[in-house]
């Protein structure tokens, strides 16, 4: 019984693997993002095709996405979707940006309509806090709309490195 237990304990390291290879995106030598098995990735190849999926395996400088093999040198750009404020709901920042921009414009419109209905002077329609809140809503909305998608074009300041951790 002891011999069997010792044999099983000795065989386990040969059957298991503790670490996977890593694909590292760097900007001028500084780490930006790391991809490993199970991570979602969306990229454009040097042939102009876009592929999206989860990394199923990384082996010998090859990335397997949903069963399709790619060399990491064939990747031309990596897309990053920002999930910022709505990471729990699954929507991107575009919806939040549109909502905030509409709220800021609506705040200005309501102030102008109410001031005109009351017969106030045009200078009295808005208060300082109204300008600040409305401007902040519109500025934040425009920023969120503009920052929805970002592409990392490889070759200039962005580079993709393949770190082989284990021998296969």
CB 159, CB 75: distance < 8 Å:
no
pLDDT the model gives residue 83: 52
Element (H, E) at 41: strand 40-45
Domain ranges of the chain: 16-81+149-163, 85-146
Asked whether 25 and 72 are in contact (CB, 8 A), the reply is: no
Task: Report the pLDDT value the prediction gives residue 21, as an integer from 0 to 100.
Answer: 82
The per-residue pLDDT for range 113-127, each reduced to its tens digit, is 888 888 888 777 778
- Between CA 67 and CA 38 the distance in angstroms is 13
CB 12 within 8 A of CB 24: no
Angle made by CA atoms 33, 153, 54, in degrees to the nearest 5: 50
**What is the tens place of the pLDDT at every residue in 141-156?**
888 887 777 788 888 8
Res 17: pLDDT: 59
- φ/ψ (deg, to 5) at 38: 100, -10
Q: For residue range 79-130, what is the model confidence (pLDDT) as tens digits?
A: 876 555 545 445 567 778 888 899 999 988 888 888 888 888 877 777 888 8
Residue 57 CA to residue 148 CA, distance in Å, equals 28
Check residue 131 and give its pLDDT. Answer: 85
Of 59, 13, 23, nearest to 43 by C-alpha is 23
More confident residue, 157 or 17: 157
Q: According to the model, what pLDDT value does residue 139 have?
A: 92
Which fold, 16-81+149-163? SH3 type barrels. (2.30.30)
pLDDT in tens, 9-60: 877 777 665 567 888 889 998 988 888 888 888 888 889 888 888 888 888 8
Helix (H) or strand (E) holding 129: helix 128-146
Distance of CA 36 to the CA centre of its chain: 15
Arithmetic mean of pLDDT over the chain? 81
Q: Give the pTM.
A: 0.57
**Residue labelled with tokens 């393949």:** 162
Q: What's the average model confidence in pLDDT over 130-149? A: 85
**Residue 115 has which token pair?**
């001031």
Write down the pLDDT at residue 81.
60
- Is residue 133 left, alpha or beta, with left meaning phi > 0 and alpha meaning psi from -120 to 50? alpha
């Amino acid at each position: 019984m002891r011999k069997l237990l010792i044999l099983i304990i000795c065989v386990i390291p040969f059957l298991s693997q503790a670490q996977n290879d890593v694909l590292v995106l760097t900007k001028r030598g500084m780490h930006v993002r790391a991809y490993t098995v199970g991570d979602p990735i969306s990229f454009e190849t040097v042939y102009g095709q876009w592929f999206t999926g989860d990394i199923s395996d990384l082996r010998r400088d090859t990335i397997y996405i949903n069963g399709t093999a790619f060399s990491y040198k064939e990747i031309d750009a990596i897309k990053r979707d920002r999930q910022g404020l709505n990471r729990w709901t699954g929507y991107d920042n575009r919806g939040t940006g549109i909502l905030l921009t509409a709220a800021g414009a609506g705040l200005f419109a309501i102030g102008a309509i109410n001031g005109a209905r009351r017969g106030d002077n045009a200078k009295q329609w808005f208060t300082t806090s109204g300008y600040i809140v409305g401007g902040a809503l519109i500025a934040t909305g425009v920023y969120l709309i503009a920052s929805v998608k970002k592409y990392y074009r490889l070759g200039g300041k962005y580079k993709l490195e393949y770190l082989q951790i284990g021998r296969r």
